[in-house]
Amino acid sequence: MQIQTTRSNWWFLLPIFLNICGGVIAYFVLRHDDPQKAKNCLILGAVLLAIPIALSLGLEAIPALD
């Protein structure tokens, strides 16, 4: 039986500032101590990377005003 320790919520700042790279770093640091927080950091990094990509693709589809 594994003992799960909780880690600080400050780890969520890493994916916020570094997107997917920060999410991957946080995941590998937290995966043994707090697997749920590690997964959430990885997902947060991926979502924060996908948002600007989706916005840029969406704005590209809007015709330019002349």
**28-66 residue pLDDT tens:** 999 999 999 999 999 999 999 999 999 999 888 778 765
> In this prediction, what percent of the chain has a pLDDT beyond 90?
74
What is the count of structural domains for the chain?
Answer: 1
Residue 33 resides in a domain: yes
Q: Is the pLDDT of residue 1 over 80?
A: no
Distance CA 56, CA 58 (A): 5
**5-24 residue pLDDT tens:** 778 999 999 999 999 999 99
Residue 31 resides in a domain: yes
More confident residue, 39 or 3: 39
Query: Residues 6 or more apart from 16 whose CB is under 8 A from it?
Result: 22, 44, 48
Residue 66 resides in a domain: no
The confidence score (pLDDT) of residue 45 equals: 96
Domain range for residue 51? 10-59
